[in-house]
Amino acid sequence: MINLTAIYVLWLREMKRFIRAKSRVIGTLAMPLFFLVFLGFGFGSTAVSGLPEGVSYMNFLIPGVVGMSMLFTSMFAGISVLWDREFGFLKEIMVAPVNRVSIVLGRIAGGVTTSLIQGLLTLMISFLVGFQWPGIVPLLGAMLFMALISTTFIGLGLVFASRMKDMQGFNLVMNFVIFPTFFLSGALFPLQNLPGFIKAISYVDPLTYGIDGMRNVLLGQQFLFPIEYDILFLTGFSALMVFLGAYSFEKSESV
C-alpha cells in the first residue's frame, strides 16, 4: 500500500538538499546559458534548413535547451541512490516498514520538483536573450511536458543506479546514455536534416517527444507531431520508466 507520509518525507528531504546546495543550482544553469548564448547568437543569423517559416533558430533552440536541462538534472538524480547507499541512509529506509514503491515515488516526486524549478529558471533565462512571454496556458503546457520528461528520466536513472554500486561506473553509463539521448532528440537542430535510419532511432527517444511538445505549446505551431501524440507517447514512456525504476529498486540490495 502506498505510504503518503513516506513519500512526503523523502520529497521534503530532496527539497532541503536542493535549497542548501546553491552551487548545484548555479552549475546546472550555467550550461543552458552557454548553449543559448553561443549557439543561439552564433547561428541566429544563419538560415537553418528544416525550420518552419517565421521561426528563428533562437526560438527553436530554447525548448531544446530546457529539455536538455531537464534531462541532465533528472538522470543524475539517480546518483543520490548511490550516495545514500554509501553513507548508510539507503539501508535505514530499506528496513523501515514502508514498501519500496513509496520510496521510489518519494524520490521521483522530489526529483521532479527540483527539475521543474531548474527548468523554469532556464526558461526565465531565455527571456534575457529575446524569448517572448508565451502566456500562462502555454507555460502550463510546457510544465506538463517538463514533468513528464523528468519523471521518465528519473525512472531511468533509478534503473541504472539500482544495479550499480560505484559512482565511477554510474558516471560512465550516464555519459553513454545521456549524450546520445540528447543529440538524437532534435534539441539543437531539426530532425528532418538527419539520415532516415538515424531519424528512425530518434523516434524511440522519449526526449524527442518532450522537446517537440514544448515547441508546440511555447511557439504555437506543430513541428514533428501533433501535441496529442507527444503527450500520449511521453506519458507511455514515463509510466514504463516508473514501473522499471520501481521494479529495479525492489530487487536491488540496500548495502
User: Over its length of 255 residues, how does the chain's per-residue pLDDT go in tens digits?
Assistant: 677 787 888 888 888 888 777 776 777 777 777 877 777 676 656 666 667 777 778 888 888 889 988 888 888 776 677 777 666 666 666 666 677 777 788 888 888 898 898 888 888 888 887 787 778 888 999 999 999 999 999 888 888 877 776 666 666 776 788 888 888 888 888 888 778 788 888 888 999 999 999 999 988 888 888 899 999 999 999 999 888 888 887 776 554
CA–CA separation, 17 vs 14, rounded Å? 5
pLDDT value for 219? 86
The span from the CA of 244 to the CA of 107, in Å, is 14
Q: Is 53 left (phi over 0), alpha (psi -120 to 50) or beta?
A: beta
Cell numbers at 65, concatenated: 535547451
C-beta separation of 173 from 82 below 8 A? no
Question: Looking at the chain, how many residues does it have?
Answer: 255
User: Which pLDDT does position 54 carry in this prediction?
Assistant: 73
Q: Is residue 48 part of a domain?
A: no
Residue ranges making up the domain that contains 237 = 4-41+53-251
> Is 170 a member of any domain?
yes
Nearest Cα neighbor of 243 from 120, 106, 151, 148 is: 151
Domain assignment of residue 62, yes or no: yes
Residues with Cβ within 8 Å of residue 190, at least 6 apart in sequence: 48, 49, 50, 51, 60, 223
Q: Is 127 part of any domain?
A: yes
pLDDT of 255 reads: 44
Nearest-Å Rg of the Cα atoms of the chain is: 18
Quick one: 111 exposed, middle or buried, by C-beta within 10 A (0-12, 13-18, 19+)? buried
- Secondary-structure breakdown of the chain: helix, strand, coil percentages, each rounded to the nearest 5: 80, 0, 20
Task: Calculate ∠ Cα 217-218-223, nearest 5°.
Answer: 65
What Cα–Cα distance (Å) separates residue 85 from each residue in 33, 80, 166? 33, 8, 10
| 46 domain-assigned | no
**How far is residue 209's CA from residue 205's CA, in Å, rounded to a whole number?**
8
Residue 84 domain-assigned (yes or no): yes
Q: At what angle do helices 79-87 and 136-163 cross, to 10 degrees?
A: 50
Helices (DSSP H) in the chain: which residue ranges? 4-20, 22-34, 41-42, 57-75, 79-87, 89-94, 100-128, 136-163, 167-183, 196-202, 206-219, 227-251
The answer to whether the beta carbons of residues 163 and 249 sit under 8 Å apart is: no
Residue 72 lies in a domain: yes
- Cβ–Cβ under 8 Å, residues 51 and 60: yes
Structural domains of the chain, count: 1
